[in-house]
Amino acid sequence: MSSYQSPFERLRAKFDESNPNCPSCGYVDTECGWRVATTGSRVTYQFVCPTCDAVETRELRLGREP
């Protein structure tokens, strides 16, 4: 077993710790969290607000560490 974490895994862990919140109504989701989709070198996090249907999208790009 290795404890090595790729930069992506670390970024992802950071995201997983944070609850998505709606930019429109301020609702904070504490249960479902983000939906994660990976496309090539991009990771898209999407959250659909259950109260007002606003969609919050954030994108992470894989690549060099800052």
What are the residues binding Zn ion (CB under 5 A)?
Answer: 22, 24-25, 27, 49, 51-52, 54
Q: How far is the CB of 61 from Zn ion (least distance, A)?
A: 26
- Would you say 36 or 54 has its CB closer to Zn ion? 54
Q: Which is nearer to Zn ion, 25 or 37 (CB)?
A: 25
For residue 1, the minimal CB distance to Zn ion (Å) is: 41
User: Least distance in Å: CB of 45 to Zn ion?
Assistant: 16
Q: Give the burial string for 15-53 (b: 16+ CB within 10 Å, else e).
A: beeeebebeeeebebeeeebeeeeeeeebebebebeeee
What the block records as the tokens of 49 is 């607000």
- Helix (H) or strand (E) holding 9, with range, is helix 7-17
